[in-house]
Amino acid sequence: MTPRSYSAIRLSLMAVVVTLAMPAFAGDQVVSQAKKAFTVGVLKAKVGDTITFRNDDEFAHNVFSLSDVQSFDLGSYKKGEVRTVKLTAPGTIEVECAIHPEMKMKIEVAK
Amino acid sequence: MSQKFSSLRISLPLALLFGFFIAATVVAAESDPWLRPEVAPAPPENQLTPARVLLGQMLFFDPRLSRKATMSCASCHNPSLGWSDGLPTAVGFDMHTLARATPTIVNTSFNPIQMWDGRKSTLEDQATGPIEAAGEMNLPLPELIERLKGIPGYASKFEDAYPGMGITAVTVARGLASFERTVLSTESPFDRWRKGEENAVSASAKNGFELFQDKAKCAVCHMGYNFTDNGFHNIGVKDEGAPDVGRYAQRPLKSMHGAFKTPTLRDIGRTAPYMRNGSYKSLMAVVEHYDRGGDDKQNLDINMVPLKLTASEKADLVAFLESLTGVPPDVRVPALPL
């Protein structure tokens, strides 16, 4: 393997590492619902970003927010299904599962 | 001496093996998600003490906590009737019939959310709700506090339980919550089976437990040692009159219309009639309801589907449910302060 190949691999690995370290401000983020919990406690995002919620539990979940910043009700859905919301305003959005009120998270939306 | 060493050589491995077996059994029991923890959790500011439990017990059985001094907490949450009342729906102030069944308070101390519609979060928060509710005990808290202050025998009970805090709505709530934390399910045949006693339940009940977790989908909501997900579901129970909106009053979301908190199944053999409006007199009727996939199909929880259970499977489920009831504890009704 030539030094150039090594450099290419290093660059690729760096790109992967940078990508993995960037979820805080990526345009489309996925939040899993597993073991009756959101896998993220506080998510950082920007106005215009899309958040996808994926149900990885064996039973149904739900996603809603009644926050002043942005309210939405994505309804209830089964294992493997997803629901998506586009963030429209800056501020902190409190998100819950209506079925399981112990499941809570926040989305901090920057301009 | 050499003989002693020899016996030691034999008995030590045996003792270690026995110890390992006991330890493994204890660990298995502790890590079994279907076995209840020994003690109910209590917040740091209201840790259990004998004086707090005693105070709460007195308050719980004291009818002077109601406007006309005719109803105590125990009037509805009657220990002789599984800490419920045996009625389809509760009877409140002036014998007025209420819309919802009295939920048992067995193991409610493990629940992070209280009441059928989840409008209260902690036991302390819940404790004074029925006292001041107009349809229930109908006694405003300021009047309750003045009344309790006028009963000389209560002063020392409150002081013993909450030194320096006096008789207040806070100490009343904390005392009642402390007593409720001692209202726990007793060991049931199911528990004994989970701990290794093979013959504690019938083969039918064992099969019922398999069905409970699999084909009948009960464990989707009735999960864990307290047999509840502490969640809210519309399971298609019909109302005779106007539909009860349930959780929707607290969370105005479509999926919460007609949804109610999943009740515990512990001691279920003692808490008939069943469902949030007491629709069913028997466990078989409950199983039939789920087998039909509910009756009122409007806004039904998406977990609710017809189950297509056989008669034998239904009987197995009932046998399992019956195995969740332990021997009722002897409950002492205290002499009240005068």
**Residue A39: is its pLDDT beyond 70?**
yes
Q: Which entry of B136, B180, B313, B322 is annotated as an active-site residue?
A: B136
Q: Which residue of B has its CA nearest to A77?
A: B302
Per-residue model confidence (pLDDT) at position B241: 87
Written as six digits, the tokens of B271 are 């808490």
Strands A104-110 and A42-46 come out as parallel
| Contact with chain A for residue B118, Cβ under 8 A | yes
Give A7-25 pLDDT, tens digit per residue: 444 444 443 333 333 444 4
Partner-chain contact B253 A98, CB within 8 Å: yes
The verdict on B220 touching A (C-beta cutoff 8 Å) is yes
Which residues from A are below 8 Å from B33, CB to CB?
none
- The burial of B170, by beta-carbon neighbours within 10 Å (0-12 exposed, 13-18 middle, 19 or more buried), is given as middle
Q: Per-residue pLDDT for A96 more than 80?
A: yes
In terms of Cα–Cα distance, which of A50, A42, A46 is closest to A82? A50
Catalytic residue flag (residue B136) = yes
**pLDDT mean by block of 10 residues, chain B; 338 residues:** 42 46 46 93 97 98 98 97 96 94 97 96 95 97 98 98 98 98 97 97 98 97 97 96 95 96 97 97 98 95 96 98 94 94
| Chain-chain contact of A58 with B220 (C-beta, under 8 angstroms) | yes
The type of residue at B224 is G
End-to-end CA distance of chain A: 46
Is B280 touching A (CB cutoff 8 A)?
Answer: no
For chain A positions 33-62, those within 8 Å of chain B (CB to CB) are: 36, 58-60, 62
Contact yes or no for B220/B317 (Cβ under 8 A) = no
Inter-chain touch A99–B230, beta carbons under 8 Å: no
Query: What local confidence, expressed as pLDDT, does residue B30 receive?
Result: 57
Q: Do A99 and B251 touch (CB under 8 A)?
A: no
Helix (H, G, I), strand (E, B) or coil at B169: helix
Report how many Cβ contacts below 8 Å link chain A to chain B: 51
Q: What is the average per-residue pLDDT within A82-90?
A: 97
Handedness of CA A36, A108, A73, A84 (dihedral sign): negative
Q: How many CB atoms lie within 10 A of CB A9?
A: 11
Q: What is the pTM of this model?
A: 0.86
**B1 at A interface, C-beta within 8 A:** no
Say whether residue B256 is in contact with chain A using an 8 A CB cutoff.
Answer: yes
Q: Distance between CA B191 and CA B201 in Å, rounded?
A: 9
